[in-house]
Chain A
Amino acid sequence: MSRAYPLPSNLSKETVTNTASLLRIIALALISGAAIASRLFAVINFESVIHEFDPWFNFRASKVLAAKGFYEFWNWFDPTAWYPLGRVVGGTVYPGLMATSGVIYNLLHALNLPVDVRNVCVLLAPGFSALTAWATYMFTKEMKDESAGLLAAAFIGIVPGYISRSVAGSYDNEAIAIFLLMFTFYCWIKALKQGSAMFGTVAAVFYFYMVAAWGGYVFITNMIPLHALVLMLMGRFSSRLYVAYSSWYAIGTLASMQVPFVGFQPVTTSEHMAALGVFGLLQIVAFSQLVRSHISSQQFKALLYFAVIGTGILGATAFIVLTYKGWIAPWTGRFYSLWDTGYAKKYIPIIASVSEHQPTAWPSFFMDLQFLVFVFPAGVALCFRQLRDEHLFVIIYAVMSSYFAGVMVRLMLTLTPVVCVASAVALSTLLDTYIDPREPEASNEKKSESETAPPSTNGTSTPEVAPAPVPTSTKKGKKATIAAAAQPEPTPASVIEEVAAAISPLPIAPKKSSSPQTKSRGIWGLDPRLTVIFNTLAMLSFFVFHCTWVTANAYSSPSIVLASANQDGSQHIIDDFREAYYWLRQNTPETSVIMSWWDYGYQIAGMADRPTLVDNNTWNNTHIATVGKAMASSEEAAYPILRKHDVDYVLVIFGGLIGYSGDDINKFLWMVRIAQGVWPEEIQEPNYFTQHGEYRVDAQASPAMKNSLMYKMSYYRYPELFGGDDGSDRVRQQKIPKGAVTLDILDEAFTSENWIVRIYEVRKEDNLGRDHKSANAFAQGKKRKRSKPQVRRRAIAVG
């Protein structure tokens, strides 16, 4: 037998095994370290703060939980949100995230480590990313082997698609949800492989944790039934599947109903019906098998035929009737818009308005996944080669999630794990093939390479190891043979085949590990090996550079603190948001109500601690539309709305001075659209465009635009900055005519350093009973009367 390169032959089997497992542990530890470290850019470049919008609410809730305990948190009614409605927080929140950090906080304090709850929250996401890497390792190990597992763990640890939602400070549900997703899937695969009720229960427990943590649990709720259904259609029903699915579904569903926000949804909404339907189907199939073992085959066939058809029709009718009767809620809009992609824009603009609900263009995929995006189809193809039950899971997962990720940027997060798993399978098979020192002529010693090839990471395997593989892979090999033996088992497969003979009974036997053709497979010589390995390593290291660069530059901005570069290249921090929120906190009464667009609701509540009209929990569309209407209307129309809602301050975000493009004028059309959805007669989107259909803010802007409260608040006194010239808006690259904007019902209260946040105080009713316009004109007219009488006349005439 010939080898491409020499290997030490004086190593004992134990040495190799022990070294391999030690190296695995070290590698996993290093991967965890890398996963945590690369998420700390945000803390190092900025500071240890909570990022963005939703995390501020989670942080606020965690503070309540840490300070007052779980019971208080559970019954927390927040009167300051959605003023004057308030919000029942305990019943409208996924408490998993807060509960997790609450447990960690209390644990640390029990150990006399006085860690601030903020630091627990900031560092929760990086910590859980290490756990995700481990869960992915376990999952991939089930798909191929340990070496693929390590590669997958390394990928998920640093891939930007996952980092984007889990940098330090991004304290959101997704931070822990991806770990739970992967671990639930791992337990499901394990339960399915072994037919183990214990792993099924563990899967159910983690499913419960997932339900408590993230609305995306519906993905699991539909993935597992889909997998089970495909297995049944392929004639792969087995008692293992029955045990795994039944234990997962029964315990998982009952557990998930304990979360108040979910409640009875698992039995009343369409999203959960697939799981229930597959559960029912599984019972029918299992029952028919039982009957089959007791009666003769002729009777059985007739019975089975009518039973299955009858139950199917009965179930379908029941579902339709219940849906019509309203017992089963139809698909929710958010879910429905995934299938009918035009639906959200037409009927629920509030969903379409969120930037993370936009469809994904290819550069985003490439940025988030880099070379994994094209290696992963190869990995999926390799799954088809063996096509064990667990490989089917990866295949279904890949198809579903690549569609979802294409429809919504946000769902890139669910695609990322399967991309990492599949490409790890592909790359590790590639490395196995090309690192393996054996050359093809030696046919006797060799078994299948894919089964017994040593993990690429240890690199110390000897040919002696190959015939009698290391214990771990023996165990695995045994499992594989068990799985293989279970497949041809005639009873389960044939039942489904009889039922669904016409559809697709796939009698698929797993590839025999010792087929004759594999003997002649392999690579000759050293240079092809080196070429491929060097090429792969180069791609891997380029991937690392890419990930680091993307993480450092694109995904680590806290978005409440902005960074810009000074002329000498040093970093300049723009801290307008916190400046303004702290101004509110320190200069206004605690009861004063702040109106702003819903994006800033959580931040105001979290940082300024003041009541808000609307916030990022967009549960009440009408309330949001009210705010949109106030922003889009003229002063006269807006004033009654402001007064009726007790608004004391109005806050707008304006980026025109420093070129911050995510400001309210750019979001303004969504406010108009959402308001139009509720008051189509009063607010109409076309009125905010010029005659030529352009969205302008300069002298040619449409009258509705110029008179809107949002426009006035954004550009009030803005041209004064330019010393008598027209003001120039750096975001929209347009000139703001001077002296055009007047405000009567509001007083400018605060404008931050770079004008990003502007706060206005709402005037109370005039003491003399005049309307604000004439009162203002009177006040100004008096002043101007002495010098320029004509101006005054014009001012009144214009008004």
Chain B
Amino acid sequence: MLLLLPLLALPLAVLSASSPLQQLINLAAEGNGVVKLDAKTYDLVTTPKRNWSLAVQLTAKDPRRRCIPCKEFDPAWEAVAAAWATVPKEHRDNHFFATLDFDDGYTVFQKLGLASAPVVYVYPPTEGPRVSASGNTSPVKYDFSIGFDPGPLAEFVSKHTPIPVPYKEPIDWGRYITIATVALSLLLVLRHLSPLLQSRWTWAIGTILTSLVMTSGFMFTRIRNSPYTGGNGNWVAAGFQNQFGQEVHVVSFMYGLLAAAFLMLILVIPKQASPTRQRIQVYLWSAVIVIVYSILVSLFRVKNRGQ
């Protein structure tokens, strides 16, 4: 530590000599577009007199902090910052991306009253031509409810940069190749598949599975990103307007079983040649209907506890 200290102090001493803007430019160049901050430089870059704008990520990447979202978000941040590093210099030097790790500046976290990470602030400029029309100079917080994707982040930061961040989603070659391969192989086996495709029962199964899955709240879990289970073996979400992913499976299976029981009674059992076997089957499937239906109703009671 003692040895390292002077080494650390040296660049700082050099930097403090030049103007804060120049320091930022240098630091950004060093970190591949991302300025790595600590408690001291944080105050420097967010000085109340600044003609640059700054997007800063407050995070805790050290494994000891066990901040999983921080790790998930970091690649998106790096990608957007790298995209910004490609813009022409006269624009690049007006906006910076910076990262402050908790272990480098917990005083900043204290000062900002932050108890969770990651947090992204965008500091608009306070001086110069780019001061916003509304005169707002206080930092703007990024809303993570949209998710950790780089696209929305770039869109958000672009509102405060001189020119939009030229971020483009990387082309997912793997996905395209997979789709192309699947399509090609389907075309190749089409001759063998066509009897299957022309069978009405293939379509019947597809139709029925679709309606079973849809009426079990599949779209709800997709749109709301419900977890598969609630943890601790709890798979029934509390509340009438809520459900977990596993409920889709259970409920659609029960619906499917009941529908199958009805189809057995209607289609298959009348074709039976032996009266005894027919009788057994009628009782069997009737019992299935009664039991599964009762389970379903009691599950519904669990969900609809209030009434």
**Residues on A close to B: CB < 8 A?**
341-342, 346, 358-367, 369, 371, 373-378, 380-382, 384-385, 387, 395, 398-399, 402-403, 405-407, 426, 429-430, 433-434, 440, 449, 502, 504-506, 508, 517, 520-525, 527-528, 531-532, 535, 539, 553-554, 680-682, 684-687, 691-693
Give the residue of A387, A402, A521 whose beta carbon is less than 8 angstroms from that of B210: A402
Output the nearest chain B residue to A441 by Cβ-Cβ distance: B275
Other-chain contact of A365, B152, B217, B242, B282 (Cβ < 8 Å): B217
**Stretch of B46-54, B70-78, B135-143 at the chain-chain interface:** B135-143
A385 and B267 within 8 A (CB): yes
CB<8 Å pairs between A and B, sample of 11: A363-B241, A374-B258, A375-B259, A377-B211, A378-B262, A378-B266, A426-B262, A502-B190, A531-B282, A532-B282, A686-B143
Residues of B within 8 A of A523 (CB): 269-270, 278, 282
Chain B residues, Cβ within 8 Å of A502:
190
Are the CB atoms of B251 and A359 closer together than 8 Å? Answer: no
A524 to B242, CA, bound (A): 46
Secondary structure class of chain A's binding surface, majority of residues = helix
Contact at B273–A686, with CB atoms within 8 Å? Answer: no
Q: Given A346, A377, A525, A686, which contacts B208 in the complex, CB threshold below 8 Å?
A: A377
The 3 closest A-B pairs by CB, nearest first: A406-B219, A362-B217, A528-B282
A527 to B282, CA, bound (A): 10
Docked-complex contact B241 and A364, CB < 8 angstroms? yes
User: How far does the alpha carbon of A682 sit from the alpha carbon of B286 in the complex, in Å?
Assistant: 64
Are A681 and B140 also in contact (CB < 8 A) when A521-B270, A528-B279 are?
yes
Give every chain A residue within 8 A of B256 (Cβ-Cβ): 374, 377
Are the CB atoms of B140 and A684 closer together than 8 Å?
A: yes
Give Cα A178–Cα B248 distance, bound, in whole angstroms: 29
Give bound CA distance, A685 to B143, whole Å: 7
* B265 CB contacts on chain A under 8 angstroms: 430, 433-434, 532
B266 & A426 in contact (Cβ 8 Å cutoff): yes
With beta carbons under 8 angstroms apart, the residue of B223, B269, B300 that contacts A342 is: B223
CB distance from B210 to the nearest CB of A (A): 5
Closest to B262 in A: A378
The residue on B at minimum CB distance from A419 is B215
Partner of A693, one of B116, B207, B266, B304: B116
Residues of A within 8 A of B212 (CB): 377
Q: A358-B241, A361-B217 are in contact. List 9 more A-B contacts (CB 8 A).
A: A341-B219, A363-B300, A364-B240, A366-B296, A374-B254, A399-B210, A403-B210, A407-B223, A692-B115
Residues on A with beta carbons closer than 8 Å to the beta carbon of B251: 362
Report the minimal beta-carbon distance from A315 to chain B, rounded to whole angstroms.
Answer: 24
B244 to chain A, nearest CB (A): 10
**Contact in complex: B115, A525 (CB < 8 Å):** no
Chain A residues closer than 8 Å to B303, beta-carbon distance: 363
State which of A342, A398, A440, A508 has its C-beta within 8 Å of the C-beta of B207: A398
Q: What B residues does A429 contact at CB under 8 A?
A: 266
**What class of interface size applies to chain B in its complex with A?**
35 or more
Min Cβ gap B212→A in Å is 6
Contact indicator B262/A691 (Cβ below 8 Å): no
Does B201 count as interface, using CB distance less than 8 angstroms?
yes
B residues 287-302 with Cβ under 8 Å of A? 289-290, 293, 296, 300
Determine if B215 and A405 form an interchain contact, defined as CB atoms under 8 angstroms apart. yes
B198: interface (CB < 8 Å): yes
Question: Who on chain A is nearest to B257 by CB?
Answer: A374
How long is the Cα–Cα vector from A364 to B152 in the complex, in angstroms? 33
CB atoms of B259 and A378 under 8 A apart:
yes
Q: Please give, as numbers and ranges, the residues of chain B lying within 8 Å of A505 by CB-CB distance.
A: 198
Q: Evaluate contact between A363 and B224: CB separation under 8 angstroms.
A: no
By a CB distance below 8 angstroms, the chain A residues around B211 are 376-377, 380, 398-399, 402
Give every chain B residue within 8 A of A380 (Cβ-Cβ): 204, 207-208, 211
Compute how far the CA of A118 lies from the CA of B204 in the bound complex, rounded to whole angstroms. 48
> Per-residue 0/1 for B214-250: is the Cβ within 8 Å of any A Cβ (1 yes, 0 no)?
1111111011100000000000000011110001100
B197 at interface by CB-CB < 8 Å: yes
A714 to B201 CA separation, bound complex (whole angstroms): 60
* Contacting residues, chain A, for B66 (C-beta < 8 A): none
Q: What chain A residues lie within 8 Å of B190 (beta carbons)?
A: 502
Would you call A359 and B140 a contact (CB within 8 A)? no
Please tell me if B175 contacts chain A, counting CB pairs below 8 Å: no
Q: Which residues of A contact B273 (CB under 8 A)?
A: 520
Give chain B nearest CB distance to A162 CB in angstroms.
16
The reply to whether A531 and B286 form a contact with Cβ atoms under 8 Å apart is yes
The complex places the Cα of A26 from the Cα of B105 at a distance, in Å, of 82
Contact A384 B200 (CB under 8 A): yes
Distance in angstroms between the alpha carbons of A531 and B143 in the assembled complex: 60
Are the C-beta atoms of B304 and A363 separated by less than 8 Å? yes
Measured CB to CB, the closest approach of chain B to A646, in angstroms, equals 24
Are B207 and A395 neighbours in the complex by a CB distance under 8 Å? Answer: yes
Across-interface contacts of B203 in A (CB, < 8 A): 384, 395
Cβ-based interface call for B255 (8 A) = yes
Residues of B within 8 A of A684 (CB): 140-141, 143
B259 to chain A: which residues have CB within 8 Å? 374-378, 381
A373 touches B143 (CB 8 A): no
Question: How many Å lie between the Cα of A521 and that of B251 in the bound state?
Answer: 33
The interface residues of chain B lying within 8 Å CB-to-CB of A399 are: 207, 210-211
Q: A584: shortest Cβ distance to chain B, in Å?
A: 33
Provided the pairs A403-B219, A692-B115 are in contact, do residues A682 and B134 lie with their beta carbons within 8 angstroms?
Answer: yes
Question: B165: shortest Cβ distance to chain A, in Å?
Answer: 16
Residues on the A chain within 8 Å of B197, using CB: 504
> B156's closest neighbor in chain A, by CB?
A680
| Contact partners of A341 in chain B: CB under 8 A | 219, 222-223
